[in-house]
Every structure is written in structure tokens, then in C-alpha cells.
Structure 1
Amino acid sequence: MSKNTNRAPAPPRAVATLIAMLDALTEGVGKTVSWLAPLMVLVTCAVVLLRYGLGEGSVALQESVTYMHSALFLLGAGYALKHQRHVRVDIFYRRFRPQGRAWADALGGLVFLLPLAVFIGWISLDFVGNAWRIREVSTDSGGLPWVYWLKTFIPLLALTLSLQAVAEVLRELLFLMGYRRQEVPHAD
């Protein structure tokens, strides 16, 4: 394991390009779904005002908040990983040197995160496929007719999280091999 300094060589162009592309995809998806947070607040306020101010309810409007919430959290998971905002058991990690953190991140991605993401994607395929086959709709009268789209967020979580996990693992492996990289900010 070599020391990573400013004099370390640049990583191979193809790998650096792949990491940059995966990061850009994650960034785009994350920034896009982030707009759902203020929209959820507005729609929730509208639901409350309609219900308690006008005595009117809208099941579809209420369910739309569930759809937005699902999209925000499931499609934003890769973005959270990219920006080190995911859940981490920090008992030892925060005391590690950069190489120790790189080992923990690379092994954690390879041994835990990627297999879990692939497993989630795999087991969700029948669940989502059945929903699409029957064009599943809300069980509530007046609810949204797109439950199959809502369930599609599960394999999309697996895909986007897997892609960002690949970028993170590659980034850490390059660092461990002695290539230059910018230090990824870690929550302390």
C-alpha cells in the first residue's frame, strides 16, 4: 500500500471516466428527486387545508405524498451514499487513517452493500412484475391508479445504489493502489 500524496499518479482514464459518469448519474438523480421534498410539504399543507379548512378530502392527493416520499428516499439512496450521508456504524471508522477508511469502504461495498443491493433487486422483480402484469391500482376508492409505478422504485433503488456502490468501491480501490484522488468528506 503506497502513500497517497499530491505526487501520486492520476488514475487510469477509463476508470476515472467510469467513476465520473456514475457520480454524474447519481448526482442528477439525487438533485432531481430532491425537489420532491418541498413539493411534499406543499401537497401535505394542501391536504390539511382541504380537510380541516374546507372539510374536503382527497385520497389521491394524500397518496401522491406517499409516492413522492418513496421516490425521494428510494431513488435518493445512491446520492446519500455518494455524499457520505448514509448510516454508518462509526465506532472505529472515525479513528481510521485514510487508508483504513478506504479499506473499510471498499470491503463494506463489496461484501455488504453490493450483495444487498443485488439481492433487493432480484427479490423485487416478481413483486414488481406482478404489479405491472395486473396494472395494480390503489385499494382505496379515489386513490391513484399507478401502484405498479410506485413498486418500480424498489428495483430502481437497487440499480442506482449498485451503480454508486461500484463508483465508491472503484474510487477506494484506486486510492489503495496509490492513485491520486480528492479526499471524500466523511461525517465526523
Structure 2
Amino acid sequence: MHRTDADQEERVPHIIRLYVRWVDRINRFIGRFAMYFVLIMMVGFLYAAVVRVGFNLYTNWMMESAQFLLSAYYLLGGGYSMQLNAHVRMDLFYSRWSPRTRAAVDMVTIWMVVAFLVFLLLGGISSSQYALEYNQRNYTAWAPPLAPIKIIMTFGIFMMLLQTIATFFRDLAAACGKEIE
């Protein structure tokens, strides 16, 4: 099929489609991978319960491990959740609007999310650098190093920021009556 110049003008630029496609693909992979962290936590809690009841031993490291896994779970899954449109939204008027109106409003409000994520990312980078530089450890009996989870959390925030920008491009296309497949 031969495309005319008018057809080319109606399409979203290739670089934007490529960006959205790759960010979606990466966040989908990371989000689906992070879903298994819940299963790991369940196995860990089962182990801790059996050891506690069966052998009267306390596994203080399990609670901290679960906290770390839960933090990684929701921050690594944030971009995937945004991609699936599974995040919380105030729906006073939103559901009554047309898809193009929703996309136009989302294009404006998404910049508040971008600003928030940029500040979180800067804080995460600073906190990760501090944890690496000073070998920061948690103040508990187990005292695990904090750098690995801080780096994972910062990476999750970065991926959510990339997904937010991809969502902006998708909303921009929808507001103009186009679609990014």
C-alpha cells in the first residue's frame, strides 16, 4: 500500500512511537518480574512462621527483607501500573468526558506527576550516593546495607518517570485524534 504525504502528516513521529514502545516494553518486563516479589515474601513469611513455631527461633531478618521486597515491588511496578492505567484517579467529572478531553486534561496534569517524580529521583540519587559513600546500614540487629534497596528504588522512580513521559506522548496523540499503537 502506498502512503501519501497527507497520511504521513497524520502519523505520530517515529521517534516518539519508538520511545513509547520501548518504555512500555521495559516497564512491562520489570513490572511482571516484580510481581513475583509477593510470592517470595509469602514463602519467607511461611518459613519464618515455621521456624518460630516449630523451633522457637526468631528470624528478625525476615521482616526487614519483606519491607525491602515490598518497597522494590511497588516502585518497580509503578511504571507498569501507570501503563495499565491501574493507578488511582479522582473521578468526579473524568468518566463523563470524551477520550480526547480526558487526554487533553491528562496532558496538563501529568506535569505535576513529572515534577513530583523528578524531585523523588533527585532525592533517590542523593540518598543512594550517601548510602554507597558511607556504607549506610539499617539500625537493627541484622543491620543490612541500605545501598542496594535505595538503588533499586531510585531505578524504579526513574522508570516511572520515563513511563509518565510516554503517557504524555500517548495523551498528546489521543488529544490530536491519533493513536500510538
TM-score range, shorter chain: 0.7 to 0.9
Stretch moving more, 154-163 or 33-42: 154-163
In 2, distance between residues paired with 1:128 and 1:181?
Answer: 35
Taking structure 2 as the reference length, what is the TM-score of the superposition?
0.87
1:49 is matched with which residue?
50
The DSSP-based 3-state class of the residue aligned with 1:179 is coil
1:173 is matched with which residue?
172
Runs of 4+ in structure 1 over 6 Å off: none
Where does 1:1-188 land on structure 2 (aligned, <5 Å)?
9-110=10-111, 112-141=112-141, 143=142, 145-181=144-180
1:34 Cα shift? Answer: 0.8
In 2, distance between residues paired with 1:104 and 1:41?
Answer: 40
2:4 is matched with which residue?
none
1:178 Cα shift? Answer: 2.7
In 1, distance between residues paired with 2:68 and 2:103?
Answer: 36
Gaps of 5+ in 2: 1-8
In 1, distance between residues paired with 2:179 and 2:128?
Answer: 42
> Counting helix residues as a fraction of each chain, which structure ranks higher?
2
In 2, distance between residues paired with 1:14 and 1:171?
Answer: 13
Q: State the percentage of identical aligned residues.
A: 21
Gaps of 5+ in 1: 1-7, 183-188
1:144 Cα shift? Answer: 5.2
Higher relative contact order (CA 8 A, sep 6+): 1
1:181 Cα shift? Answer: 4.2
In 2, distance between residues paired with 1:136 and 1:151?
Answer: 10
1:18 Cα shift? Answer: 1.1
In 1, distance between residues paired with 2:57 and 2:30?
Answer: 35
Q: Deviations over 1:114-146 (max 9, x none)?
A: 1100011112332221111111223222x2532
Native 8 Å contact 1:138 1:145 kept in 2: yes
Alignment coverage as a number of residue pairs:
173
In 2, distance between residues paired with 1:87 and 1:148?
Answer: 30
1:100 Cα shift? Answer: 1.4
